[in-house]
Amino acid sequence: MKIVSIAPDAPESWKLSYQYDCLEIYGSNESLGYSYAYNNRRRRTLETIQKLVKPGEHVLDLAAAQGNFTLALAELGYEVTWNDLRGDLVDYVKRKYDSGTVHYAVGNAFELDLAGTFDLVLIAEVIEHMAHPDEFLEKVSSLVKPGGYVVMTTPNGGYFRNRLPRFSDFEDTSQFESVQFQPDGSGHIFLLHRDEVESISQRTSLVLKEIELFTNPLTNGHMKLGVLLQILPEKIVRVLDGLTSRLPLVIAKSLNIHTLAVFQKSIAIKDA
């Protein structure tokens, strides 16, 4: 992936994407907690995908923003389709492109006409921006081939600092439609709890195969622990994060900030 710079008169979406790239992939020390947490999530996600599908297979990166997962997967040998609502980001992603096969599909995820196309769909930090996460996951399932996979990362609703409502507490969530699809943490509507991930998947043609919780307050720099990130070697931070992710569930579900879930589409289901 190429490192790029942008001009002062670049589109606002490019400027915002570049700010995130500085934190996420260019090594900025402006917010070590954010950078550590992002790289922890990115590493785990890419490792999971490599265990599930082989290079050369088709992957959809849904709501892919500045394309950091898209481009990394293309460089690993996957045939990747980038998707996002913001079509003006296509040229920004293309500037960062280095190698591999990347296609572009601009548009609303609910309106993509790509049923049964992909071996794996990645939804990284997307479902928490949806007013109807159950309907969204069902739409995602329609994009996957029978036997294919969906890999989802999302903030853990059970984390002790979460103050957002539970999705399962509402019979009708249409009241949130006016604020869905907004980027960044300010656009979070629900942060799904582990049991909600399980129950939502049961309403789809997807089978939940694996779910893990990770990224503790130290890794994320919460509670003023970011000071320690300036001292501790990254290897130590990773080891500690691995330990807290393996704690008994009653503790882990409150202590860890992120969820990674792997779903597989039932082979018996065939899209029309």
DSSP β-bridge partners for residue 213: 259
> Rounded mean pLDDT of 238-263?
95
> Are 36 and 229 spatial neighbours (Cβ–Cβ below 8 Å)?
yes
How would residue 208 be classed by pLDDT, with cut points 50, 70 and 90? very high
Does pLDDT of 118 surpass 80? yes
What pLDDT score does 271 carry? 46
Q: Which residue has the tokens 């001292």?
A: 231
What pLDDT score does 272 carry? 42
Residue 228: phi and psi, rounded to 5, are -70, -30
| Surface-to-core class of residue 231, CB atoms within 10 Å of its CB (0-12 exposed, 13-18 middle, 19+ buried) | exposed
How would residue 268 be classed by pLDDT, with cut points 50, 70 and 90? low
Of 187, 169, 170, 171, the residue nearest 179 (C-alpha): 187
Query: Domains in the chain and their CATH numbers?
Result: 28-265 (3.40.50.150)
> Rounded mean pLDDT of 196-225?
94
Does pLDDT of 251 surpass 50? yes
Q: In what order do the strands lie in the sheet with 206-214?
A: 101-106, 79-84, 58-61, 118-124, 144-155, 258-265, 206-214
> Rounded mean pLDDT of 23-43?
92
What pLDDT score does 270 carry? 46
Reduced to 3 states (helix: H, G, I; strand: E, B; else coil), residue 177 is helix
How would residue 27 be classed by pLDDT, with cut points 50, 70 and 90? confident
> Rounded mean pLDDT of 124-146?
95
Does pLDDT of 51 surpass 50? yes
Q: What is the pLDDT of residues 39-48, one digit of tens each?
A: 999 999 999 9
pTM of the model: 0.94
What pLDDT score does 181 carry? 86
> Rounded mean pLDDT of 208-233?
94
Does pLDDT of 30 surpass 90? no
Of 162, 140, 161, 143, the residue nearest 152 (C-alpha): 140
What pLDDT score does 67 carry? 97
Higher-confidence position of 271 and 225: 225
What pLDDT score does 269 carry? 46
Q: What is the pLDDT of residues 85-113, one digit of tens each?
A: 999 999 999 999 999 999 999 999 889 99
Residues contacting residue 6 through CB under 8 Å, at least 6 positions apart:
14, 15, 18, 92
Averaged confidence pLDDT in the chain:
93
| Percentage of the chain lying above the pLDDT 90 cut | 88
How would residue 185 be classed by pLDDT, with cut points 50, 70 and 90? low
Alpha-carbon distance of 214 to 219, in angstroms, equals 9
Residue 260: phi and psi, rounded to 5, are -125, 125
Does pLDDT of 183 surpass 90? no
